[in-house]
C-alpha cells in the first residue's frame, strides 16, 4: 500500500511542478514582452532538454569514479 501512496504523491508533485514551470515561463515571456510563438519555442526547448540534463546531473553527482 505504501508504494502506491508514494506513487500517487510523486505523480501529484510532478504535475504541480510542471504547472508552475509552464506558468513561470509564460509570465517571464510577458515581462520580457515576447510573442506567444517565442515563449512556446522556449518552453518546448526547456521542456525537452531539462529531463535529460537532470539525469546527467544526477549521474555525475552521485556516480562512483574508477
Query: Tens digits of per-residue pLDDT, 41-64?
Result: 888 888 888 888 888 888 888 877
User: In a 10 Å sphere around its CB, with 0-12 CB exposed, 13-18 middle and 19+ buried, how is residue 21 labelled?
Assistant: middle
pTM exceeds 0.85: no
Q: Please, what sign has the CA dihedral across residues 14, 16, 22, 25?
A: negative
Contact predicate 46/60, CB 8 Å: no
Please report the pLDDT score of residue 10 as a whole number: 94
Assign 66 a pLDDT band (cuts: 50, 70, 90).
low
Amino acid at each position: 500500500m505504501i508504494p502506491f501512496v508514494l506513487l500517487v504523491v510523486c505523480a501529484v508533485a510532478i504535475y504541480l511542478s510542471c504547472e508552475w514551470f509552464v506558468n513561470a515561463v509564460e509570465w517571464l515571456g510577458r515581462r520580457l514582452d515576447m510573442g506567444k510563438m517565442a515563449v512556446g519555442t522556449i518552453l518546448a526547448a526547456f521542456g525537452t532538454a531539462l529531463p535529460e540534463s537532470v539525469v546527467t546531473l544526477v549521474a555525475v553527482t552521485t556516480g562512483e569514479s574508477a
